[in-house]
């Protein structure tokens, strides 16, 4: 069975290619997939009848109870034959329905074949979850088929409507499936063989499953999607909305009925809603002028009828439900295919315009009449047999008061008679409207139909007759489904003649009433237009959608204020309200020390004062200086704490940041924008105070709560034993916690790249413009100078003293940075500190000599440097693997080098060199972007202004344009 | 190295209130700044908060001690692990400063101010909510997909 599904999948996959090569001739080839499946199903018929069910088990996700189990029961055998048989015929029919020029063939062929496969999988699977998967696949494919013409807004809306309604039902069904699966089993056969007790949970699950089934089979209140889906090409309507997809819901009802027909609400949902739908659909079918829509409402009506009978849940009703399914699939697909032929040959589907078509299209008029008689339930067609059988089972209910008690059983049988009368009336309307020669209407010009085009309707129409005539022979094949039902007597065999019975009388009544309704159609139309439309599902659907949309707008408006401060405040308020409040109210405050030494208090007062002053000042640079003061203060606290590495790094970072701030802020307004009417200042400060207090409270409470030994307790020994270094902090960085450092330098690389991208926008700065390569207006005739770049600067910006000092200090700084790098393993220092010092040296060169001097000092791309650094760091991390070590393992190598003597080389130094390179690269990127980059933009703007104001302003020539 | 541990635990059980107060001051001022509209002020606030958290690490690393080098008395040195963590944080904060400054500069280049504006799309949705409107993706068409050719409006021809 899985092979049959694979065959469909393969066909669907090849379909676009086939359609390209063969055009419409691809359809007969694709029809082979369902045809082969049909033949296979026929070949297992006797096994199914004998109860020797073909099964196949493929384990898929056993942990979740999802297995690709397939089996053919009588029910799935019937449905499978219809799905594959009608599917093959409809595909054949498509050959003449579409033209070779149709540009959508490749898509249509593929989706249609895939749909056929999904439908077959749905009726064959024995696992509820797999059934759900196929169920939703049919939904998606049907969406694609209804929206066949995406250029039309009606098509799009109809497709979306069908998708939303059936997916909604599908989701409800999924919940039901999961309830059943978790509490009982996902296996359908196990569920039917051993039904779980009808406790609340099971009943809820069954109701949810029914919601899915009813939405798929277009029962009230979900019925409106089906007529909308008529926007699809007619073969799609014939297949999906007659034989296949809408039958999925009926299949589910019929599948569950043996086990759950006794559940509360079951009969209300199936029989009640089903009969109501039958009446609503029939009533509205009588109003249609479009023969396709007429059939669509007729389908709604018939589906309601079948669900009601399938849901009744007696042995007799089970048999008649199967007979109804078969009869309906045959006559409805015949009629839809007929509509397609008429539409193509006569050019209209409006029954007011069609006249004299029957005579011209006799090859379809005959099978359509047969199908119509079957739909109306006229002897000796399939529809008559099944309707008789259905009335029979309802009459049995009336007599035995089981399963429906007295008033309801009467109501049900009256409903079916009334519905049948409507059916007779709209069938007559359809046949008359499509084929009759109407007085006063000019005969419709009709093209002759290709013989192949009418083949499928003819075959199906003949089948309507044969199934009716041969009905006594069919019963034994269908009975195995009925015997599973616990309620009711053994059903009578299907037959054309049971004698003069009450059901026969009722049947005659309904036909008579129906014919009167048709004869008095003008009167009926006047009555109908006077009655307001009571059940308008579509308007309710539109209203629900609008309500959901409005809800989304309101929710978004409330939660997404679009203001950064408000979002941040939200986070902070939660922080204060939960952990902050908990620490204050529930925490135990331990004993505290005043200080480790009084110096901390002195520095602390300065730091806090500076921090508070930042809030007050409105000048940018003042604020930057004050923040810098807190940073230097903190580095003093580090020294007082006994953390020299931290203090060095903090000092360096603080210095660099000051420079960077000044560089970046030089073009921004000197003062912050004033928002005089903003009430927010007070609450900002209040919230800030609350957050600060929370942090303080948490710090106190958490400190007092410490119980475990710190992980760093063993660091002093480990640092030397494994890291071969004496500076424990540095060894921690490059060895013990080197993974952290690797992550951190990656962040640095990303940040450096981000900074460069924000300033240069299009490309990273790779233009190197060295001062020495510029032809400059030389002031001293080419004699030696302290800094080459100095000559490129404006005179008022130059400082000879600064240039001299820079010249003297630059190389010393570089040497110091290298010293920090190499000594860092055993003394304060390391890659970070060293890199920062080297970066600072570059900053000094830039400040003294301008952007050309920077390129003179570092004539390479910063991106190259960070990349190289990352390469070295990662390489040194991975290198130990080559020698059988672990990642980031450190080894020490001792050897003697003549001038130095003993050399103690530690491999983690290489890692530190990588860090060093990345830090230098990042610093270079920062200076190049916020220094050089902004310089260049200023120069370009000034040059542009100069050109505007005075083209001959030669005095500005020293503002060299890059 | 069990000699180190009890001393560490004991000293952290008695937090240094001066450093706690410094943390509180820095974090409070920093948070107030971070809630501002000016991106530069936000950045300054972040720097202050960062400094405050660095001091918090000193609080939880216990009492002050000698610099953590091998060869010192293990019981007398300060805890090295928080120091390594803070060192990482300091360098990252430099990268953050550079990035946010570049961002502020770019914002100023584009809009002439470094004040972060409200999101325009969110403002539009709020206007929709005030006016009781639906979203722009909502299809307001009330026209039915099916009833266009029912008797009620019978003069229309069927859809093709």
Q: In this model, does residue B151 exceed pLDDT 50? A: no
Tell me the CA distances in angstroms from A662 to A245, A583, A623, A628, one per residue in order. Answer: 71, 40, 11, 12
Of A272-281, A354-363, A719-728, the least confident: A719-728
* Closest to A858 measured CA to CA, from A841, A874, A872, A873: A841
What pLDDT shows up at residue A561?
Answer: 84
Per DSSP, what are the bridge partners of residue A619?
A: A671
- DSSP 8-state secondary structure symbol assigned to residue A892: E
CA distance linking residue A302 with residue A292, whole number of Å? 15
pLDDT given at position A962: 41
pLDDT for A767: 66
- Structural domain contains residue B16: yes
Q: Do A660 and B144 touch (CB under 8 A)?
A: no
What is residue A778's predicted lDDT score, i.e. its pLDDT? 46
CB–CB of B67 and A594 under 8 A? no
**From residue A488, how far is each of A308, A407, A502, A645, A791 by CA, in Å?**
16, 19, 18, 91, 109
| Pairwise CB contact (< 8 Å): A592 & B14 | yes
Question: Residue A771: its pLDDT value, please?
Answer: 63
Q: Does A666 touch chain B (CB under 8 A)?
A: no
Mean pLDDT of the A630-643 span: 94
**Is A556 in Cβ contact with B70 (below 8 Å)?**
no
Q: What is the pLDDT of residues A599-626, one digit of tens each?
A: 999 999 999 999 999 998 989 999 999 9
Sort out which chain A residues have CB atoms less than 8 A from B55's CB and list them: 634, 637
Residue A734, chain B, CB below 8 Å: the answer is: no
CA angle A768, A772, A774 (to 5 degrees): 75
- The Cα of A319 is separated from the nearest Cα of chain B by a number of Å equal to 34
Which token pair is A693?
Answer: 């207090």
B102: in domain: yes
| Cβ neighbours of A692 in B, within 8 Å | 23-29, 31, 52
Distance CA A503, CA A316 (A): 14
- Nearest CA of chain B to the CA of A779: how many Å? 35
Look at residue B123 in the predicted model and tell me its pLDDT. 86
Residue B137 placed within a domain: no
Is B44 within a domain? yes
Average pLDDT over residues A288-299: 93
Identify which of B74, B95, B33 has the alpha carbon closest to the alpha carbon of residue A623: B33
Cβ-contact B16, B23 below 8 angstroms: no
Write out chain A residues lying below 8 Å of B56, CB-based: 695, 699
- What six digits make up the tokens of A778? 């030389």
Q: What pLDDT does A415 receive?
A: 95
* Each residue's pLDDT tens digit, A679-697: 678 889 999 999 999 999 9
The Cα A480–Cα A259 span in angstroms is: 15
Q: Point out the least confidently predicted range of A475-479, A643-647, A793-797.
A: A793-797
Which percentage of chain A shows pLDDT scores above 90? 57
pLDDT digits (tens, 9 = 90+) for A822-877: 888 888 888 999 999 999 999 999 998 888 888 888 888 888 999 999 999 999 99
Q: How many angstroms separate the CA atoms of A633 and A639, rounded?
A: 10
Q: Count CA atoms within 13 Å of residue A435 on its CB side.
A: 21
Tell me the three state secondary structure of residue A906: strand
pLDDT band at A143; cut points 50, 70, 90: very high
Subunit contact B14:A591, Cβ cutoff 8 A: yes
d(CA A342, CA A788): 92
A527-541: pLDDT as tens digits: 888 877 666 777 888
Assess if residue B150 is contained within a domain: no
Mean of pLDDT values over A309-330 = 94
For residues A290-294, give the mean pLDDT: 93
Overall average pLDDT of the A674-678 stretch: 65
Residue-level pLDDT at B152: 35
CB A670 within 8 Å of CB A623: no
Mean pLDDT of A497-526: 91
| Inter-chain CB proximity B150 and A704 less than 8 Å | no
Burial label, B58 (beta-carbon count in 10 A; 0-12, 13-18, 19+): buried
- CATH code assigned at B48: 1.10.287.3510
Evaluate if residue A32 carries a pLDDT over 90.
yes
- Measured between beta carbons, the chain A residues lying within 8 angstroms of B133 are 553
Give the per-residue pLDDT at A922. 93
CB–CB contact B58 A747 (8 Å):
no
The DSSP symbol for A350 reads B
**pLDDT-wise least confident of A91-105, A244-258, A729-743, A759-773:** A759-773
User: CB distance from A556 to chain B under 8 Å?
Assistant: yes
A549: contact with B, CB 8 A cutoff: yes
Please write down the HEC assignment for all residues of chain B. CCCHHHHHHHHHCCCEHHHHHHHHHHHHHHHHHHCCCEHHHHHHHHHHHHHHHHHHHHHHCCCCCECCEECECCCCECCHHHHHHHHHHHHHHHHHHHHHHHHHHHHHHHHCCCECCCCHHHHHHHHHHHCCCCCCCCCCCCCCCCHHHCHHHCCCCCCC
Compare all CA atoms of chain B with the CA of A549 and give the residue at the minimum distance: B134
Number of neighbours of residue B75 by Cβ within 10 angstroms: 15
Chain A hits for B77, CB-CB cut-off 8 Å, are 642, 716, 728
Burial tier of A59 (Cβ tally within 10 Å: 0-12, 13-18, 19+) = exposed
User: Is residue B154 in some structural domain?
Assistant: no
What is the average per-residue pLDDT within A914-924?
94
Contact A167, B151 (CB under 8 A): no
With CB atoms and an 8 Å threshold, state whether B22 touches A161: no
Query: Is B39 a domain residue?
Result: yes
Per-residue pLDDT of A920-954, as tens digits, reads: 999 999 998 888 888 888 888 888 888 777 655 45
Quote the pLDDT of residue A751: 92
Give percent of chain B above pLDDT 90: 33
Residue B153 has pLDDT above 80, yes or no: no
DSSP assigned state of A196: P
Residue B3 is predicted with a pLDDT of: 45
| pLDDT at site A535 | 63
Residue B85, domain extent: 4-120
| pLDDT tens track for A887-911 | 888 888 878 877 777 777 888 889 9
Contact A833, A775 (CB under 8 A): no
Q: What is the C-alpha separation between A399 and A387, in angstroms, rounded?
A: 18
Task: Answer yes or no: are the C-beta atoms of B58 and A597 closer than 8 Å.
Answer: no
- CA B96 vs. chain centroid, Å, equals 12
The answer to whether residue A801 scores a pLDDT higher than 90 is: no
Diameter of chain A measured on Cα atoms: 130
Residue B26 has pLDDT above 90, yes or no: yes
User: Considering the domain boundaries, does residue B136 fall inside one?
Assistant: no
**Is there a contact between A790 and A848 (Cβ–Cβ < 8 Å)?**
yes
* pLDDT score, position B37: 86
Cβ within 8 Å, pair B13-A564? no
- State whether B77 and A634 contact (CB < 8 Å): no
The predicted model gives A211-234 an average pLDDT of 90
Q: How many domains does chain B have?
A: 1
Whether the upstream peptide bond of residue A141 has omega within 30° of 0, thus cis, is no
Going by C-alpha positions, the residue among A231, A215, A212, A232 that lies closest to residue A223 is A215
Most distant CA pair in chain B: distance in Å? 103
Q: A746: which chain B residues are within 8 Å (Cβ-Cβ)? A: none
Average pLDDT taken over every residue of chain A: 89
Pair B122, A560: CB distance under 8 Å: yes
The CA–CA distances, whole Å, from A87 to A20, A181, A230, A504, B64 equal 21, 32, 18, 34, 84
pLDDT digits (tens, 9 = 90+) for A327-379: 999 999 999 999 999 999 998 899 989 998 998 899 999 999 999 999 999 98
């Amino acid at each position: 069975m899985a092979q049959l599904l694979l065959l469909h999948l393969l066909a669907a996959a090849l379909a676009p290619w086939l359609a390209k090569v063969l055009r419409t001739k691809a359809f007969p080839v694709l029809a082979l997939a369902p045809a082969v499946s049909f033949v296979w199903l026929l070949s297992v018929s006797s096994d199914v009848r004998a109860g020797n069910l073909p099964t196949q088990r493929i384990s898929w996700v056993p942990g979740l109870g999802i297995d690709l189990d397939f089996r053919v029961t009588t029910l799935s055998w019937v449905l499978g034959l219809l799905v594959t048989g009608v599917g093959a015929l409809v595909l054949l029919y498509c050959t003449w329905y579409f033209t070779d020029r149709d540009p959508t063939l490749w898509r249509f062929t593929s989706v249609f074949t895939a749909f056929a496969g999904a439908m077959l999988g749905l009726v064959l699977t024995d696992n509820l979850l797999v059934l759900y998967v196929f169920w939703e696949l049919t939904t998606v494919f049907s969406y694609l088929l209804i929206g066949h013409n995406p250029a039309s807004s009606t098509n799009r809306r109809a497709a979306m409507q069908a998708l939303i309604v059936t997916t909604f039902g599908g989701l409800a069904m999924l919940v039901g499936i999961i309830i059943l699966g978790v509490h009982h089993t996902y296996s359908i056969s196990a569920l039917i063989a051993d039904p779980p007790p009808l406790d609340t949970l099971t009943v809820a699950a069954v109701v949810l499953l029914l919601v899915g089934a009813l939405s798929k089979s277009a029962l009230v209140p979900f019925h409106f999607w089906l007529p909308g889906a008529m926007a699809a090409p007619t073969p799609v309507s014939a297949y999906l909305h007659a034989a296949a997809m809408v039958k999925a819901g009926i299949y589910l009802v019929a599948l569950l009925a043996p086990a759950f027909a006794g559940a509360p609400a079951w009969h209300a949902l199936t029989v009640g809603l089903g009969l109501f739908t039958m009446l609503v659909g029939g009533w509205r079918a009588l109003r249609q002028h479009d023969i396709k829509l007429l059939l669509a409402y007729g389908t709604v009506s018939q589906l309601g009828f079948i669900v009601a009978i399938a849901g009744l849940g007696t042995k007799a009703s089970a048999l008649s439900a199967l007979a109804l399914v078969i009869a309906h699939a045959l006559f409805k697909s015949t009629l839809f295919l007929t509509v397609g032929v008429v539409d193509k040959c006569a050019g209209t589907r409006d029954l007011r315009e069609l006249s004299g078509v029957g005579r011209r299209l006799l090859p379809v008029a005959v099978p359509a009449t047969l199908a119509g008689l079957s739909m109306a339930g006229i002897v000796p067609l399939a529809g008559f047999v099944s309707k008789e059988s259905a009335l029979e089972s309802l009459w049995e209910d009336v007599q035995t008061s089981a399963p429906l008690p007295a008033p309801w059983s009467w109501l049900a049988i009256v409903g079916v008679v009334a519905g049948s009368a409507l059916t007779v009336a709209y069938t007559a309307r359809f046949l008359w409207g499509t084929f009759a020669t109407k007085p006063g209407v000019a005969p419709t010009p009709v093209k002759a139909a290709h013989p192949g085009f009418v083949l499928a309707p003819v075959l199906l129409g003949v089948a309507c007759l044969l199934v009716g005539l041969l009905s006594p022979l069919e019963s034994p094949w269908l009975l195995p489904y009925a015997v599973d039902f616990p309620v009711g007597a053994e059903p009578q065999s299907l037959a054309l003649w049971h004698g003069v019975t009450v059901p026969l009388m009722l049947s005659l009544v309904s036909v008579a009433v129906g014919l009167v309704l048709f004869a008095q159609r003008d009167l009926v139309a006047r009555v109908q237009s006077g009655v307001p439309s009571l059940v308008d599902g579509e308007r309710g659907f539109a209203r629900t959608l609008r309500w959901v949309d409005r809800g989304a707008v309101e929710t978004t408006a409330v939660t997404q204020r679009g203001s950064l401060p408000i979002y941040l405040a939200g986070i902070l308020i939660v922080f204060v309200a939960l952990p902050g409040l908990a620490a204050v109210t529930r925490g135990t405050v331990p004993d505290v020390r005043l200080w480790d030494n009084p110096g901390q208090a002195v520095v602390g007062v300065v730091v806090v004062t500076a921090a508070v002053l930042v809030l007050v000042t409105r000048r940018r640079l003042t604020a930057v200086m004050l923040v810098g003061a807190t940073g230097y203060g903190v580095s003093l606290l580090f020294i007082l704490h006994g953390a020299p590495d931290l203090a060095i790094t903090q000092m360096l970072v603080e210095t660099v940041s000051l420079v960077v701030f000044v560089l970046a802020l030089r073009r921004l307004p000197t003062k912050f924008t004033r928002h005089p009417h903003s009430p927010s200042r007070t609450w900002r400060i209040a919230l800030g105070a609350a957050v600060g207090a929370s942090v303080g409270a948490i710090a106190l409470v958490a400190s007092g709560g410490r119980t475990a030994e710190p992980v760093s307790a063993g660091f002093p020994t480990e640092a030397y034993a494994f890291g071969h270094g004496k500076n424990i902090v540095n060894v921690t960085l490059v060895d013990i916690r080197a993974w952290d450092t690797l992550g951190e330098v990656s962040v640095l690389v990303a940040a450096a790249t981000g900074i460069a991208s924000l300033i240069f926008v299009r490309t990273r700065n790779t233009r190197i413009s060295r001062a020495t390569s510029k032809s400059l207006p030389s002031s001293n005739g080419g004699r030696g100078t302290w800094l080459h770049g100095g000559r490129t600067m404006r005179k008022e910006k130059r400082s000879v003293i600064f240039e001299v000092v820079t010249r003297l200090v630059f190389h010393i700084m570089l040497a110091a940075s290298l010293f920090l790098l190499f000594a860092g393993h055993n003394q304060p220092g390391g890659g970070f500190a060293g890199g920062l010092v080297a970066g600072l040296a570059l900053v000094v060169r830039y400040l003294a000599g301008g952007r050309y001097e920077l390129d003179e000092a570092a004539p390479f791309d910063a991106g190259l440097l960070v990349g190289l650094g990352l390469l070295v760091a990662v390489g040194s991390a991975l290198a130990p693997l080559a020698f059988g070590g672990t990642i980031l393992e450190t080894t020490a190598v001792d050897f003697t080098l003549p001038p130095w003597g003993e050399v103690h080389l530690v491999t983690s130094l290489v890692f530190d060199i990588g860090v060093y390179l990345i830090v230098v690269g990042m610093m270079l990127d920062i200076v190049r972007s916020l220094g050089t980059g902004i310089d260049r933009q200023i120069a370009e703007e000034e040059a542009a202004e100069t050109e505007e104001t005075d083209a001959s302003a030669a005095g500005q020539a020293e503002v060299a344009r890059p | 190295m069990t000699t180190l541990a009890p001393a560490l635990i004991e000293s952290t059980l008695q937090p240094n209130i001066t450093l706690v107060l410094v943390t509180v001051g820095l974090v409070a001022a920093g948070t107030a700044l971070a809630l501002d509209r000016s991106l530069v002020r936000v950045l300054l606030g972040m720097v202050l908060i960062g400094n405050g958290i660095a001091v918090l690490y000193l609080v939880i690393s216990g009492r002050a001690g000698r610099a953590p080098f091998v060869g010192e008395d293990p019981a007398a040195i300060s805890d090295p692990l928080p120091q390594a963590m803070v060192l990482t944080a300091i360098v990252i904060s430099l990268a953050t400063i550079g990035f946010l400054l570049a961002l502020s500069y770019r914002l100023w280049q584009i809009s002439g101010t470094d004040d972060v504006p409200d999101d325009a799309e969110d403002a539009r949705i709020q206007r929709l909510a005030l006016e009781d409107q639906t979203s722009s993706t909502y299809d307001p068409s009330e026209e039915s997909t099916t009833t266009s050719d029912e008797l009620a409006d019978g003069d229309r021809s069927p859809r093709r």
